[in-house]
């Protein structure tokens, strides 16, 4: 923690924020109790918790990497031959579509996806 000038503004490191957030998650612990013990406003702790849930707390953490599996498209059927029933019943996937499998669920998005909404959905799936 660093105190700056006469205004006594504290700068909390990423590690300190994480430690305090984790402390609020302990059984029987409250945000009010943690804030009071460490001399900070409850609202600041709630803000840090919200930022952590949204992945915006800060720190030197880089983007999370997940394994990617690239599969080829099924070969086109010869002209005049009817497509196999499983392919004809499957919904058409537009070009540029990304399929994300997470926690047994599959999410398909295209380049026009609302990134904020996608982040919320992936966060929910990750917590399942």
Q: Does residue 76 lie within any of the structural domains?
A: no
33: pLDDT strictly greater than 90: yes
Of 13, 102, 18, 25, whose CA–CA distance to 52 is shortest?
18
Instruction: Provide the pLDDT for residue 81.
Output: 56
| 102 membership: H or E segment, kind and range | strand 98-102
9: pLDDT strictly greater than 70: yes
What does the mean pLDDT of the chain come to? Answer: 77
Please tell me the number of Cα atoms within 13 Å of 11 on its side-chain side. 7
Instruction: Provide the pLDDT for residue 88.
Output: 47
Q: Return the CATH number at 36.
A: 1.10.10
The pLDDT confidence band at residue 5, using thresholds 50, 70 and 90, is: low
Q: Does residue 110 lie within any of the structural domains?
A: yes
Q: Does residue 63 lie within any of the structural domains?
A: no
Q: Which domain holds residue 47?
A: 2-53
Question: What is the count of structural domains for the chain?
Answer: 2
Q: Which residue has the higher pLDDT, 81 or 59?
A: 59
Rounded to two decimals, the pTM is 0.43
The pLDDT of 111-120, averaged and rounded, is 83
Give the whole-angstrom CA distance, residue 75 versus residue 24: 54
Of 27, 21, 23, whose CA–CA distance to 50 is shortest?
21
Q: pLDDT by residue (tens digit) across 72-106?
A: 766 555 556 555 555 444 455 556 788 887 767 78
Token digits for 55?
A: 């992945």
The pLDDT of 18-25, averaged and rounded, is 92
Cβ–Cβ < 8 Å for 125, 107: yes
């Amino acid at each position: 923690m660093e105190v700056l000038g006469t205004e006594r503004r504290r700068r909390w490191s990423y590690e300190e924020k994480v430690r305090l957030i984790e402390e609020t998650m302990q059984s029987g612990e409250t945000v009010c109790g943690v804030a009071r013990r460490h001399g900070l406003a409850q609202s600041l702790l709630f803000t840090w918790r919200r930022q952590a849930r949204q992945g915006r707390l800060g720190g030197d953490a880089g983007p999370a990497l997940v394994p990617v599996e690239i599969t080829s498209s099924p070969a086109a059927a010869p002209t005049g031959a009817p497509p196999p029933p499983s392919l004809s019943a499957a919904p058409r996937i537009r070009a540029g579509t990304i399929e994300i499998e997470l926690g047994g669920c599959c999410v398909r998005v295209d380049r026009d996806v609302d990134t904020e909404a996608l982040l919320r959905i992936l966060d929910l799936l990750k917590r399942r």
